[in-house]
Chains A and B, each alone.
Chain A
């Protein structure tokens, strides 16, 4: 409707845009200076919550403090965050089906690469998952490495068999949040608070949750890469 108006006075539009940019740069620079000042005004020593974490690390079930925070002390955040990931996928699926594949052959290099890399990446994911208890690593890192393997497979032209693209795929996507929620509720029903691990089982339960979460995160991220829901009968 207004397109015809916009098309003509390009030069005038451009100069107005330049003015706008200049005008915008002033308050934003002020914002940057103000925020910078605020940051610099903070004390140069602040332990945050590291002492609290160190004090309770013993009974958290893991020895990597970041994993302890993610899966135990602030596990509830992580639970909701798995919800965010699943929700994003639901949103993408509600927007339509995945686009049909155009290129029939992905090329020899990619195929070789995926054949070599995928097993390696799955190994790395498993390693990261296992090592997350006591060293850097954990479910999110492992899950995203797993997803990278999935993305490579998708790039090489592999598609999930339609037999599995229904309930089995959905189960795989829900597993992380589902297991996490189930453990949380069972612990609550057993007499504790929501997500209150008994210290002797904490390590095992965290590993269980992380394994399920890794699987789901990997599947969800790879499915997000597909950019739509896998439609029945759309393979090949």
Chain B
């Protein structure tokens, strides 16, 4: 019984912080320290999952004060799935980066990555909107520093733009927090949910917070900073930015939308849905036009983020579940894709799509990983991406808004087009030969494993849906909006 009393969630925040400090203190041992911490975090998240299954949703009062005076942590099914996603992707990235970074880079990578992981876990567990601001800043600064790790003009300007956008988003969010706090005298989400009522200040706060978070989530047309930052970062960093970091601000948005702003109204939801649909089409078209593989994958992230927002006008449990499923399967698939792109870059020294030059002969596992991840991104069965689109389609038809289905199908076709384009070039001979540097096996296998996870997500649906229902994050029966 003792193990059930351990606050596993708190441990999942403390461990990466401690890991970051020890990696910083002893840079020569950064790699083993980081790997051990990564494993320990995975165990903590598993422990938290077990705890939630046994005891239902959990609230934890840091300092023992409790809201509204203190800060509360809160974990339900939604939190758990986000933490599990972070743990699985994080472990994969940790292993992948062992091979990717040289000694000098690794020294800087590990502490920053551990800080980023701590920020993610703290963010997903926080139930306090000011604490969320602090975690957002921690997340943003870590992400920017990691992008800049690549060096070079592209990465540095990408990082700089990312930093400015990130700070602007945080400040908008913080002003919203100020207005909410001074309206209702609390920054605890549950307390706010009880006290909130429509007023000019609340509407202003909603506008500011949603705008700030959309900027960080890079919803079209606020996506302008994303492709350069995500494409120019080192491959494992691109993976964790696309898979995890943009999802974190979406998670906050989702929580606020469901808990504090239920009165937001259908018009705003329709607007978000429209922007989402536009993102799906625009991102897909731009991805198709790119000549560099990493840039293509980055634009595909813009498109995939659009799917998340299709759930807002649908406002049903099926819709939210669908969006969450997009989020999870995209995390796994996009990690695999960026890892695959990283392998190709590592092997050939470039990522020009037309010069892939039968790379499949040298990196068969990598191309398999890319294709499997592509299946999930396109939304073909039996992948996680298929289930996600199926759920969204079902919700669209049930709510009588079938037209959102068009965006789903067109988006899938566009993804299919660029996946086939890339895979096709991987089989074609080109003029320019590769540098042909051997890729460490760990990097190929982790890419493949992540792609397999994306497919497996389509096979364990009932199990995941059961986890999702812990604490009913999307409300009980009936619609949430």
Task: Answer yes or no: are A and B bound together in one complex.
Answer: yes
Chain B residues with CB below 8 A from A75, complex form: 62-63
Contact of A83 among B7, B17, B61, B179 (CB under 8 A): B17
Any chain B CB within 8 A of the CB of A131? no
Residue of A nearest to B184 (CB): A46
Contacting residues, chain B, for A84 (C-beta < 8 A) = 134, 137-138, 141
Interface size class of B (residues with CB under 8 A): 35 or more
Whether A41 lies near B201 (C-beta < 8 A) is yes
Residues of A within 8 A of B241 (CB): none
A76 to B66, CA, bound (A): 12
**Are A87 and B135 touching (Cβ within 8 A)?**
no
Within 8 A of A (CB), among B42-91: 60-65, 68-71
Chain A: CB-nearest residue to B202: A38
CB-CB contacts below 8 Å: B99-142 with A: 108, 111-112, 115, 118, 122, 130-131, 134-135, 137-138, 141-142
| Interface residue SS majority, chain B | helix
Which of the residues B7, B130, B205 comes within 8 Å of A194, measured between beta carbons? B7
> In this assembly, does B224 line the interface, its C-beta being within 8 Å of a C-beta of chain A?
no
**30 A–B pairs (Cβ distance < 8 Å), ordered by A:** A38-B179, A38-B200, A38-B201, A41-B199, A42-B182, A42-B183, A46-B182, A46-B185, A48-B181, A56-B65, A73-B65, A74-B130, A80-B131, A80-B138, A83-B17, A83-B115, A83-B118, A86-B115, A87-B115, A87-B138, A90-B111, A91-B112, A91-B142, A94-B145, A167-B25, A170-B24, A188-B10, A193-B7, A193-B60, A197-B63
**B interface residues with partner A (beta carbon < 8 Å):** 7, 10, 14, 17-18, 20-21, 24-25, 60-65, 68-71, 108, 111-112, 115, 118, 122, 130-131, 134-135, 137-138, 141-142, 144-145, 148-149, 175, 179, 181-183, 185-186, 199-201, 203-205
Residue A135 at the chain B interface, CB threshold 8 Å: no
A75's closest neighbor in chain B, by CB? B63
Q: Is A161 on the interface with B (CB-CB < 8 A)?
A: no
- Using CB atoms and an 8 Å cutoff, list the residues of chain A in contact with chain B: 34-35, 37-39, 41-42, 46-49, 52-53, 56, 72-77, 80-81, 83-84, 86-88, 90-91, 93-95, 167, 170-171, 173-174, 177-178, 181, 184-185, 188, 192-197
Return the chain B residue nearest A40 by Cβ: B200
Tell me which residues across on chain B come within 8 A of A53, comparing CB atoms.
69
Residues of B within 8 A of A37 (CB): 200
Asked if B138 and A193 make an inter-chain contact with CB atoms under 8 angstroms apart, the answer reads: no
A194 touches B138 (CB 8 A): no
Partner of A171, one of B25, B118, B203, B205: B25
- Contact between chains at A95 and B63 (CB < 8 Å): no
CA distance A114 to B186 in the complex (A): 45
Instruction: Please state if B71 and A74 are interface contacts (CB–CB under 8 Å).
Output: yes
